[in-house]
């Protein structure tokens, strides 16, 4: 099983596995974010075989509803450079832009001497502490393709350990970053403040 099938160099088709949580007749944005990450990385690798620059910041704008019609992805270098580069990937469906991702590629340097965070590491899940699945009324092909655990904390906050056996693109390997980004849009469903059947809200 896969979320997308490649139909050409830049053309793809979503499968029912990519079905949305708000409406199963529409695509969930999570797999699309993973796909745009993958295609941005491929484009960059073709221009920078030594991988001197790595993704440092990524942002996504959802411009419209994604159906199941075939779609194209266009990747463009907006700001070229030797130490920093801005790349834009746009999903175009039925003649209109639907999703835009912008990625800043940056030069790598050793920051271990100044690395730090105020947050403690997230522990692994245990049967006693974690609950299986999402624990909400979410549905759709994408949500049903996810397995793992969640640990509620305070209202609206918590931890989750998720994974999927569904390929991002049929028979096409992707990086750990692309696989990770393909799960990012699940974060607002970890411990919702209100039942999604009662309140509709953005991430």
Residue 199 counted as domain residue: no
Give, for all 203 residues of the chain, the pLDDT tens digit. Answer: 999 999 999 999 999 999 998 888 999 999 999 999 999 999 999 988 777 899 999 999 999 999 999 999 999 999 999 899 999 999 999 999 999 999 999 998 898 999 888 888 887 777 655 555 665 567 889 988 988 887 777 777 778 888 899 999 999 999 999 999 999 888 777 777 777 778 777 66
Enter the DSSP assignment of 95.
T
In this predicted structure, what is the pLDDT of residue 151?
77
Q: How far apart are CA 81 and CA 117, in angstroms?
A: 30
Q: Is residue 202, in this structure, part of any structural domain at all? A: no
CA-closest candidate to residue 51, choices 60, 62, 43, 61: 43
In a domain, 45, yes or no: yes
The reply to whether 162 falls in a domain is yes
Alpha-carbon distance of 57 to 37, in angstroms, equals: 11
Q: Is residue 198, in this structure, part of any structural domain at all? A: no
What confidence score (pLDDT) does residue 131 get? Answer: 59
Residue 126 lies inside a defined structural domain of this protein? yes
CB 147 within 8 A of CB 163: yes
The total of structural domains in the chain comes to 1
66's tokens: 């994604």
User: In DSSP terms, which residues pair with 200 in a beta bridge?
Assistant: none
Regarding pTM above 0.85, the answer is yes
CATH code, domain with 96: 2.40.160.210
Q: What is the DSSP letter of 60?
A: E
Instruction: Give, rounded to a whole angstrom, the gap between the first and last alpha carbons of the chain.
Output: 27
Domain that holds residue 183: 2-108+115-189
């Amino acid at each position: 099983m896969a979320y997308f099938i490649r139909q050409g160099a830049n053309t793809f088709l979503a499968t029912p596995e990519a079905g949305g949580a708000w409406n199963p007749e529409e695509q969930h944005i999570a797999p699309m974010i993973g796909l745009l990450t993958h295609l941005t990385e491929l484009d960059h690798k073709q221009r920078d075989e030594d991988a001197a620059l790595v993704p440092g910041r990524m942002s996504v704008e959802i411009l419209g509803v994604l159906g199941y019609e075939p779609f194209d992805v266009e990747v463009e270098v907006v700001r070229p450079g030797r130490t920093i580069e801005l790349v834009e990937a746009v999903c175009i469906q039925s003649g209109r832009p639907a999703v835009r991702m912008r990625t800043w590629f940056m030069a790598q340097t050793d920051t271990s001497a100044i690395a730090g965070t105020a947050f403690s590491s997230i522990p692994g899940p245990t049967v006693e502490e974690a609950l299986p699945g999402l624990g909400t009324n979410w549905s759709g092909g994408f949500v049903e393709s996810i397995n793992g655990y969640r640990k509620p904390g305070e209202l609206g906050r918590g931890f989750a350990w998720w994974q999927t056996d569904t390929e991002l693109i049929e028979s096409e390997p992707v990086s750990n970053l692309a696989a990770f980004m393909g799960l990012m849009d699940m974060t607002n469903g970890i411990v919702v403040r209100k039942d999604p059947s009662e309140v509709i809200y953005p991430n």
